[in-house]
Structures are given as C-alpha cells and as structure tokens.
Structure 1
Amino acid sequence: MQFALDERETIGGTSAGKALGLAGFGRDPVLYALLGGDVEGRRVADALRTAGVTLIAGLAPATERHLNLMTAAGERVSLYLSAPGEADDESCAATAASLTDALQAAEAIVLDLSPEARRLIPRARATGRPIWTDVHDYDGIATFQRPFIAAADAVFMNADGIGDPIRFLHAVIDQGASLAVCTLGADGAVGVDAAGREHRVPAAPVEVVDTNGAGDAFMAGVLDATLAGADLPEALAAGARHAASVLSTPHLHPRLNDVLD
C-alpha cells in the first residue's frame, strides 16, 4: 500500500500540450479534437478556449480521461479511464468545412498519434503544408506509427523504447523527412537535419514540479522557433527552454495556472 503525496485534476493530452504552448508563444493554434458531450468534455473545451486555443471539437461517445500514477522522479504509469472512440457521422459533417479551412490556412500541421489523425493524413498531405508528428516512445517496430512517419517532414520522439535513437533518426531522414529529433530527458535532446548533421542541446536547469507535457512543450518550442526562421540549434535551444517552463508547473502549460487553479 502506498499513500499519495498529492493529487490534482488537470487537462492532459499530447495535442493539448502542443496547442497550449503555441498559444503561449502568441500564435493562434487551431486544435481539432474529439470530445464527448459530457461534463469533462465541456470543461476541457472551456479551459482550452480560455487559454487561447481555437478548438474544433468533433463529438465522440466520451471524453478521453486517464489517471497518471507518478513517482517523485517523474516516472509515470497512465491508466486510461475512457477513450473517445470515433466521431459520429453528423459530427464529422458539422466540422468538415472548419477543419478544411484550418488545414489550408496552417503554417504547419501537427498530427498526433490517434486513429482520427491517421484518417486525416491524406488530407493533410494534399495541402502541401509541412507536417510534424510526435511518435513518443516508438520502438521502431510497431506498425501504427509508420504512416505518420512516412507522411511527416519533422518527426519527434523520446528515447524510452527505441534503443539506438541516433541510428533511427538518420533512417527517418533517409526516408525523406527534413528533421528528426529525439528527446533524452535530463540529457537534453538530439536532432538530425536534412543534411544528416547531428545537433545536441542540453536540458535547461529547472526545479521540476511535474514532468507531464515536457516532450510536447519541447516540440512546440522547436516548431515556434522554426516558423520564426531559427536554425536547428537555435530551435532546439528554444524547445529546451520551453520544456523547462512546463516542468515548473503542475499543468501542461503555465497558462492553465489561472484557468484551472
């Protein structure tokens, strides 16, 4: 038996973390997500919109919810309490025009791992916009992530499951991506550019409060800096700084401190 040292309820989700980060940089991110018509879905929608995220919400049977069991060292086990399932046909029709407009207007499209995002890969590619994806703890073997990697111009991941990330990053570049990045926790991150050059950045010093969302914040920081014209070393450093700002808050982004607390 173990007594909890603390507990909190907050917004989770890898796409929400990235969108909140981009909003914090002064951009106008549009987040397409599936939410249930339940209390949790309404709370998530209200909080994201209050924090500056433009939300296109598809109606799903339930809002995704999970319980994270955390250690003081930041180790995590996620227990999924509910999953959204698929958007209903009426919801897809209602959001189709808004989603098409958002895809066409985007400077970049971020596709996070989900069946709904995988369904949208052909539409995203048809826009000609750069596609960024985050395959998290991909082991190099699982098949679900492969369409995302094949479609992406920029691929992000962490080193938890891959073994040798450097070899994999070079393989991603050889397959046609222009950027491949692996976060290494306290050891920072390593990125490989289109020319096959490796770039490393140390983790920014920070008093860690909660490790949830650090990888999403890192990617959002790199994306924002890249869109602003930064070269890869500068962009990686911006990602490290932004990840540190999220590590110092109990939420996915400091913007949620005033919204949820």
Structure 2
Amino acid sequence: MSSVFIAGPASWNSLVVLDRLPEPVPHMQFAEESWQTIGGTSAGKALTLTALRRETLLYALSAVDEPGLRVRDALAAAGVNARWRDAAVTEQHLNLMTRAGERVSLYLAAPSEADAAHDEQLVAAMASADVLVLDLAAEPLRLLPLARSTGRPIWVDVHDYDGEAEFHRPFLAAADAVFCNADKLADPVAFLRSRIDAGASLAVCTLGADGAVAVDAAGDVHRVPAVPVEVIDTNGAGDAFLAGVLDAVLGGAAVPAALHAGAQAASQVLTTRHLHPLLDPVLDPARS
C-alpha cells in the first residue's frame, strides 16, 4: 500500500469562540465558548489519513513538557504513527474564532528548526514513502533539500498565501502538488495555472462553503462543491481536504473523483470541535 511521510506542526491550542473578532482598540468581550485541543496543520492531515487507513508517518517537533506530552499522547491514542523530535518549546496557539468561521491565530510558541543529527534516518523514512507532505514551518523548510534528493513527489499546503510572501517560495518551488485557500488571492484560478506552468502536476484552492477549484497537469479546471453538513468548527477542514485528495490519488482516482473525496473528508472534520472525530473519544470522552 502506498505510504505518506508528513513533516510539520503539531500543537496544543486554546480555542475561543466570540460573537465577533476583536477590534484593534482596548475593550472587553465575553467568550461564547472555549476549549483546548490538538492543533497543527500536519497533525490534521495525519489524522485524516489515519482514519482513511493510509499508511502514514508524522514527523513533528515538541518539547517534553505538559502541552507536548498532551499532543503526543492524544495523537498516539487516536492511532497516528508519529516520530517526535524533542524541541525547546511545544507549538501553542490561541485561536479567536466566530461561528461564521472567521479566525485570528495567535502563535504563543513555535519550535525552531532542529539540527542535522538524525537526518540520515529522516532521509531513509522519506525515501521509503510514496509521497512527502512538507508543511509551512522552520523544520520542514530545513528538510526541503533532503526531501527533493529522494525524488519522491512533494505536496505542499501554502494556506492563505498572498502570492508574494517570501517564506512560502521554497515550498512552492519544490512542489509537485500545491494546495491553498482563497483568502488572500484575487484570482485563485490564475494562481493555480501559474503553479502548473511552474512545473506542478496539480494545484488546488479551497473556497470554503463554495467547495474547491483545481487545475490539473493538462491545464483543465475542475470544481467540486462543499458537502453540506452542520458546521461545528472549521479548524482543520483544509488539512482534511488535502489528505482526502491525496489518499484518493494514491488509490488511482482521477482529479474529479479525488476532489470529491477531499470534500467528503473535510465534511467529517467540520462536524467536530477537534481536528478530526478520531480525537473525540480521546479529548472529549464525556461527549462521545
């Protein structure tokens, strides 16, 4: 069975739901709801791929502290196969959100890149996988040359890329498949076409409630609607979409069918307040 290697963030997050996002002036607001949970774009992808029974290895950094052990233990209990590297801090976010899906993410802590002490083992792990997913963070950025040396296809998720940010460019240059959202793109299809012209074989942009649009290697445009569900929380939906598409592509699906698989995977995540329903019995046993 084809396998996936994912490198990137796994975090411990505090989520706060507000009736509106805060204005940049001194004031007071009351939260409608708040909770703590697993975060991180790579953790989200690994959870969905695990639920789809795709062989997956998550490589992530965290400190051996209380938040870090919570993240490691919860993902292990959810069945995620992970390789952890000890770091000085565990990634932590404070997410301010509204019921409409608006979000401001405050990074409270983020680990820096690791040293090269275990690179030989990491290269071996990447070389044994069929697809590599490298997410936006310092350590995956460091790993990009090593990943490219394996010759394995590289999938990247540049999230709300605005077409100009410098940090994203090495990821885009290495990508065989590019995923993003439309939050900061004036013309998503034009951006997707630019990635195909640059050498990617697939480029996809999620459009929130409007589904997603993709451009394939032949330059053909494909669209898929979102799957209607009662939305509890939008965190992780884009990660689940990529994971669903990747799993379908590895299973031999053509682009239209893969996009539908991605939309279905995203819909599952929208119905839980965690990154994936696999975490419900782990983090919310009383609700399960």
Q: TM-score, normalised by structure 2?
A: 0.87
Shift of the alpha carbon at 1:101? 2.5
Shift of the alpha carbon at 1:53? 1.5
Deviation readout 1:2-34 (Å, 9 max, x if unpaired): 211111110000000000010000022111111
Percent identity between the two aligned chains: 65
* Pair 1:84 & 2:111 matched: yes
Structure with the bigger percentage of strand? 2
Counterpart residue number, 2:147: 124
Residues in 1 aligned to 2:135 and 2:119: alpha-carbon distance in whole angstroms: 19
* Pair 1:103 & 2:126 matched: yes
Residues in 1 aligned to 2:195 and 2:123: alpha-carbon distance in whole angstroms: 28
Runs of 4+ residues deviating >3 angstroms: 95-98
Residue in structure 2 matching 1:168, options 186, 191, 196? 191
* Pair 1:4 & 2:31 matched: yes
Shift of the alpha carbon at 1:97? 4.2
RMSD: 1.0
Structure with the bigger percentage of helix? 1
Residues in 1 aligned to 2:119 and 2:75: alpha-carbon distance in whole angstroms: 21
- In structure 2, what residue type is equivalent to 1:146? R
Deviation readout 1:150-171 (Å, 9 max, x if unpaired): 1110000000011111111001
- In structure 1, what residue type is equivalent to 2:207? L
Counterpart residue number, 1:225: 248
Counterpart residue number, 1:136: 159
Counterpart residue number, 1:28: 55
Q: TM-score, normalised by structure 1?
A: 0.96
Counterpart residue number, 1:43: 70
Shift of the alpha carbon at 1:96? 3.2
Counterpart residue number, 1:159: 182
* Number of residue pairs the alignment of both structures matches: 257
Residues in 2 aligned to 1:100 and 1:41: alpha-carbon distance in whole angstroms: 24
Deviation readout 1:125-182 (Å, 9 max, x if unpaired): 1111111000000011111111111111000000001111111100100000000000
Shift of the alpha carbon at 1:258? 1.0
* Pair 1:18 & 2:45 matched: yes
Q: Is the 8 Å Cα contact of residues 28 and 52 (structure 1) preserved in structure 2?
A: no
Shift of the alpha carbon at 1:85? 2.2
- In structure 1, what residue type is equivalent to 2:165? A
Gaps of 5+ in 1: none
Residues in 1 aligned to 2:48 and 2:260: alpha-carbon distance in whole angstroms: 15
Gaps of 5+ in 2: 1-27
Residues in 2 aligned to 1:29 and 1:97: alpha-carbon distance in whole angstroms: 19
Secondary structure of 2:272's counterpart equals coil
